[in-house]
Amino acid sequence: MNLYLRYFDKEAFVKSADEAIDFLKAIDEIGMNPVLEADIREYAASDVFYPKRYKIRPRVYFIVIKTEAASMADFKEKKAVRNTVPEKTNQGVSNVMKLNEERDGWYEGTIDFKRVQLVPGTGKFQYRDTHFVAIVKAMSGLDCYNRIVEHLRQRVDERSQFPSAKGKNFKFRYMGMAK
């Protein structure tokens, strides 16, 4: 695993945490210390692939990015971009793919939404995170979502906000055929 480091117009492509630390020590403004050095070593050894940003002073940072690119040119041309795999369910099919699959029967739908509620003491309204679970007879996961949202829209303030059926705030589970 290689590291790309950048501080304003100074950049480096290195093969190890030691080389990264040497590069950063050469920049006086960064002020390398044992805590920062240990954190960079820990980041390089971890499985985390998100870029890491270090604050030097207000609104001034340097970044460290892990990459599988073999050289600076490959990194700049994005030849080693990691592919993100959609979240898989037990059967190996993503929830978004299962959303439109038609299977008549009972579904358990779970939705987390922002509900507008009156604050009794002040007379003002505020958004509150609300978790709602329902068992619904539907034709598909999307139909389950639509029925739950339709039910809630009739019973909560119209300013309440509902998530997308494709997002992480809606989950469903097929429970079986209706008897």
Q: Residue 159: which of 110, 111, 113, 112 has the closest Cα? A: 113
CA 70 to chain centre: 27
Predicted confidence at residue 95, as pLDDT, reads 66
Q: For 49, what's the count of Cα atoms within 13 Å in the CB-facing half-sphere?
A: 9
Predicted confidence at residue 125, as pLDDT, reads 92
Model confidence, pTM? 0.49
Answer yes or no: are the C-beta atoms of 80 and 67 closer than 8 Å: yes
Tens of each residue's pLDDT in the chain, 179 residues? 899 999 988 999 999 999 999 999 999 888 888 999 999 999 999 888 888 898 888 888 999 999 888 888 888 887 766 654 444 444 445 667 788 888 899 999 999 999 999 988 898 999 999 999 999 999 999 999 999 999 999 999 989 999 999 888 999 999 888 66
Predicted confidence at residue 48, as pLDDT, reads 81
